[in-house]
Copies of this chain bind each other. A is one copy, B any other.
Amino acid sequence: MDICDEKCINEKMVRKTAKTIPQKEVIEQMVDIFKALGDPTRLKIVLALLNQEHCVCDIAVLCNQTDSAISHQLRILRTMKILKNRREGKIIYYSIDDDHVISLINMSLDHVRH
């Protein structure tokens, strides 16, 4: 981290805080989780799966979206290991694969309710 001496107002404080900021990789992973939940369709999907698994088709109904749109978002959430799925014949059931995400959602619910 190179700190410009010219512009920096309070170099000591900046240096101190700089040490506390997580490394790039960690920040990127945090951003990815928040970004995943920062879309109404994806958040609704996760909310719909909080208590039980559902098939793609039912998730689409619950989210008022087309199967295709939901499938695209499910792939993103699956790739991120936020969701997992299991096949039963033609039907594929999705469920939550990450307890931290549940905690994040409950905490943001607290936030909204002040």
A107 touches B110 (CB 8 A): no
Q: Which of A37-89 contact B (CB under 8 A)?
A: 37-40, 43-44, 47-48, 50-52, 54-55, 57-58, 60-62, 64
Please give the count of copies of this chain that the complex contains: 2
A interface: dominant SS = helix
Bound complex: CA of A29 vs CA of B108, how far in Å? 9
Binding site for B on A (CB under 8 A): 1, 3-4, 7-10, 13-14, 17-18, 20-22, 26-31, 33-40, 43-44, 47-48, 50-52, 54-55, 57-58, 60-62, 64, 91, 98, 100-101, 103-105, 107-112
Question: 5 more A-B contacts (CB under 8 A) besides A20-B50, A103-B107, A104-B111?
Answer: A13-B58, A29-B111, A30-B112, A34-B104, A98-B111
